[in-house]
């Protein structure tokens, strides 16, 4: 099975209340708030995380994405994890645990794009756009939509993030 693909953009969110208003103004569907704990493991290539979240089965997510600012393609594989505690213990016994990222994610959907308004513990507010490729729609097809959303949300170059939350948490820890 081929990996999934998406096109994503991540930025600091200077005004989370405004971002929520913009989501409503553009008619994005409010899918609620998810409490997420991502445990990142040391791997030789890409990133590997175990995502635990309220009300949803845990997932092991392996992904590769260039650390670029702006719209960036990601390739990923997601595997359901019915026993996250045992999976975490197994991975921690063979791989190093790099870091943990805790966040509250408000999820909106618009034109096939997932809009994430994230409050990341210890880091602050972020916004992420994610256009997920399907059989009918290639990841590259989301380029104009992500560019339009960037304009609507007033995201400037200085707000753009090139790295994962895990990298930011590690840098903040020193």
DSSP H helices, the chain, are 16-25, 84-94, 143-152, 165-173
Burial group, residue 144, by CB count within 10 angstroms (0-12, 13-18, 19+): exposed
Q: How confident is the model at residue 97 (pLDDT cuts 50, 70, 90)?
A: very high
pLDDT of residue 1: 74
DSSP bridge partners of 160: 11
Supply the pTM of this predicted model: 0.94
Geometric angle at alpha carbon 30, from 24 and 33, rounded to 5° = 125
> Which is more confident, 70 or 114?
114
Task: Give yes or no for residue 2 having a pLDDT over 90.
Answer: no
> Are 9 and 74 a contacting pair, CB within 8 Å?
no
Please give the Cα distance from 68 to 20 (Å, whole number).
Answer: 25
Please give the Cα distance from 138 to 79 (Å, whole number).
Answer: 22
Topology at the third CATH level for domain 4-173: Hypothetical Protein Pfu-838710-001 (2.40.320)
């Amino acid at each position: 099975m081929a990996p999934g693909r998406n096109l994503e953009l991540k930025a600091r969110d200077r005004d989370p209340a405004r971002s929520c208003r913009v989501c409503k103004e553009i008619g994005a569907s409010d899918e609620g708030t998810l409490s997420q704990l991502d445990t990142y493991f040391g791997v030789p290539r890409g990133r590997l995380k175990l995502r635990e979240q309220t009300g949803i089965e845990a997932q092991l997510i392996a992904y590769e994405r260039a650390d670029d600012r702006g719209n960036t393609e990601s390739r990923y594989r997601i595997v359901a994890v019915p026993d996250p505690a045992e999976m975490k213990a197994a991975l921690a016994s063979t791989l190093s645990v790099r870091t943990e990222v805790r966040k509250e994610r408000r999820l909106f959907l618009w034109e096939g794009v997932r809009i994430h308004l994230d409050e990341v513990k210890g880091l602050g507010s972020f916004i992420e756009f994610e256009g997920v490729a399907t059989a009918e729609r290639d990841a590259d097809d989301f380029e104009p939509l992500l560019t339009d959303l960037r304009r609507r949300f007033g995201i400037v170059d200085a707000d753009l993030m090139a790295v994962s939350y895990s990298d930011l948490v590690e840098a903040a820890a020193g």
